[in-house]
Amino acid sequence: MKAIEKARDVATQTLGRLNTAAKIAVIALVCIVVGGLVLWGCNELVYYLVARSYTEELADAYDLNVGTTRAILWASFTAVVVLAGYSFSLSKQKRRAGYAGLLALVIGHSLLLGRIDTNFRKNGVAEKCYVMTRTTIKTLNRVGIDPETGRECRPLTPQIAKKIAEYKNGHRPKQITSNDPTFFDPTTGEPVVWYSKDGSDQIELFDLMGFHPKTGEELTPITRPVVEVWKVQTAKVVRRVPLRVNDPEKFGFFDPITGAAKVWYWGGENGNYEFYDGPGFHPRSGDGFKIITRDIISEWRQQQEAIAARKKSEQEQREKEARERAERESQQAREAAERERQAREAAAETLRKQEQIGNECDRLGANPTDRRRTAEGVSFDLLKHQADQAYDACTRAVATFPSELRYLYQLGRAAQFKDKRQAFEVFSRLVQANYPAAFDNLGGMYLWERKDAATAISLFKRGSALDDADSMVSLVDLIDKGMLPTPDPAQTKLALLHRAAELGHAGAQRGYEAEVQKANQDRINQVNQQQMMQLFGAFVRGVAR
C-alpha cells in the first residue's frame, strides 16, 4: 500500500508540473496502454479456450496425440504472428508473402475443419442420427424430428452404421426365417433386427432397416418386449417336415388372400434353387430355408428362362444335327445307291462282256455231242476251217472263266489244229477232272497219234460210262474194225448205238437204224434159209422114197 501511495504521489507531483495539454496526453497514453493490456489478456484467454477445443476436435477427428496437435497449433500461431508482421511491412514483397501465408493458413485449417465428419467420439458417444427415406438414408447432426421428412432421427450406433453401409451398397431388408435369430449385438446390446406386424398382428422379422416389401411401412428396430411376443408366436407354430415344391408357379408363391409368402427356398452352390412349403432345414446341407422374396422369384424365373432357352437351343441343335445327319445319311444312301447302280451296271457290263467272250467260244468251238455245251456246236471238220478264231476266243474265255471246264475243252478242240501238245495236255487235265467229252478226244489222240489202242479203248470205255456219245461211237468203230473183240459184236454195237442215239448223237442214230435194218435182213435171210433147207430136206426125203 505504501508503494502504491508513493507511486501515486510521484505521479501527482509529475503531473502537477505539466500543463493541461501534457496532462491530457499522458492520461490518454496511460489509458491506451492499460486498455491494450486488458484487451490482449482477454484475447489470449479466448484464444486459449478456442484453441483447446479446436485441439481436442482435431486430435479426436484425426486420431492424433493432443501434445502433437498443440505443438502444430502453436507453430501455426507463430506463423500467424510472423506473417502478420510481414503484412504490415514496408516491403511490398514481404507484404505479399504475409498475405499469401495467412491465406494458406486459413484455407488449410478450413480444410481440416471441413474433413471432420465423424459419426462417433472417442468415448463411443454418437455424434449423428439417421432418418429413413423412400430413396436413401439421411444422417443428421442432431437427434429428434427431421424437418424435411417429419420422421424420427434415430441415434446412429456402430451397428447401425454398418447396416447403413449395407443399405447404401444396394442391400434391402430380407425376411428372417430362422427360428433362433440374433436380435441384439452381443457387444453393445444394440438391436440388429427390424420387425413389422401384418394385418393379423403377426410379427415378421427382417435383417436390415428399410421398408416392408409388401406393405411399404417403415420397419422398426426390435425391442425386448417384441422379441418375447415373437417367441410366443413362433412357439404356437406346428412344426412339420417341409415338403418340396416341384412347380412353385403352379403351387403359388404367395397366399392369394393375405399376400403372405407360402414358399421357402434353399439355394445350392451351383446356383439352383429348391422350394419347400414350409420353414425347415435342408436334409443334406443343414442350411435353413429362407422365405421367398420377389427378388428370388425374379432371379429363379430368369434362371428358368435361361435353362429353357438353353434346352431350346440344345433341342434346336439336336434337331439341326438330326437333320444334317439325316441329310448326310440320305446323301450317303443316294451315293451308295448310285455306286451300287454303277457297280451293278459295271458288273452287268463285265458279265455281258464275259458272256460275250464265252458265247464266242461256244459258238466257234463247241462240240455238238458234248452234253455240257450251251451252243449248237460245230463239227470237227467245220472247226478245222475256223480253228484260229476258235482258239483265240476260247483262250480269252479260259482266262476270263478259269474254273469253267467247258471253255477249256473247247480250247483243246481248237488246239488240235494249232498245237497238239497243248491239246493233249488240255484233254489230260479234263480227263482227270472227269469231263465226259474229253475222253473221246484224248482216246482218239492215243489211238491215231500214239498208236496206243489199249489206252484208247480204256478211255473210250470210261467216256461211255460217263454217257459220252462220241466214246460209244468210237467203240462201235473199233468193233467194226476188229480191234475190240466181244462175245456178241452185233448186240454190243446195237446197245452202244442205241444209247448214243438216245443221247442225241446224229451219227449214232443213223448207224443204229442201219444196224437194225441189217439185223432184220439177217433174220429174214435166216428164216428164208431155214425154209429152203426144210424144202430141200423134204425134197431129198421125197426122192429117197
Full strand arrangement of the beta sheet holding 144-145: 137-140, 129-132, 152-155, 144-145
> Does 271 score more than 90 pLDDT?
no
Instruction: Tell me how far apart the alpha carbons of residues 452 and 472 are, in angstroms, rounded to a whole number.
Output: 18
CATH number of 437-545: 1.25.40.10
Q: Which grid cell is 349?
A: 457290263
Instruction: Tell me how far apart the alpha carbons of residues 33 and 14 are, in angstroms, rounded to a whole number.
Output: 19
Residue extent(s) of CATH 1.25.40.10 domains in the chain: 437-545
Q: How far is CA 490 from CA 173, 519, 544, in A?
A: 134, 8, 40
> Does 284 score more than 60 pLDDT?
yes
Q: What is the mean pLDDT of residues 17-21?
A: 66
Q: What is the pLDDT of residues 242-251, one digit of tens each?
A: 888 888 888 8
Most confident of 7-11, 189-193, 196-200, 332-336: 332-336
Q: Residue 327, class by beta-carbon neighbours within 10 Å (0-12 exposed, 13-18 middle, 19+ buried)?
A: exposed
Determine the 3-state secondary structure of 159 from DSSP: helix
Q: Which range has the worst mean pLDDT, 120-129, 194-203, 421-430, 448-457?
A: 120-129
Q: Which grid cell is 205?
A: 422379422
Most confident of 51-55, 163-167, 201-205, 338-342: 338-342
Predicted confidence at residue 439, as pLDDT, reads: 93
Instruction: Tell me how far apart the alpha carbons of residues 130 and 111 are, in angstroms, rounded to a whole number.
Output: 25
Predicted confidence at residue 396, as pLDDT, reads: 93
Q: Which grid cell is 113?
A: 475443419
Q: What is the mean pLDDT of the chain?
A: 78
Q: Give me the amino acid identity at 419.
A: D
Determine the 3-state secondary structure of 195 from DSSP: strand
Contact 224, 189 (CB under 8 A): no
Confidence of residue 316 (pLDDT cuts 50, 70, 90): very high
194-197 and 203-206 beta bridge pairing: antiparallel
Instruction: Tell me how far apart the alpha carbons of residues 393 and 415 are, in angstroms, rounded to a whole number.
Output: 12
Q: Which grid cell is 164?
A: 447403413
Predicted confidence at residue 69, as pLDDT, reads: 64
Most confident of 46-60, 190-204, 273-287, 419-433: 419-433
289 closest CA partner among 239, 335, 328, 325: 239
Angle at 266 between CA 263 and CA 270, to 5 degrees: 140
Q: Which residues contact 511 (CB under 8 A, 6 or more apart)?
A: 473, 476, 497, 501
Contact 412, 427 (CB under 8 A): yes
Predicted confidence at residue 433, as pLDDT, reads: 93
Q: Give me the amino acid identity at 236.
A: K
CA dihedral 336, 340, 343, 348 (to 10 degrees): -170
Q: Which residues contact 512 (CB under 8 A, 6 or more apart)?
A: 494, 497, 498, 500, 501
Predicted confidence at residue 494, as pLDDT, reads: 82
Instruction: Tell me how far apart the alpha carbons of residues 102 and 77 are, in angstroms, rounded to a whole number.
Output: 11
Predicted confidence at residue 544, as pLDDT, reads: 56
pTM confidence score:
0.40
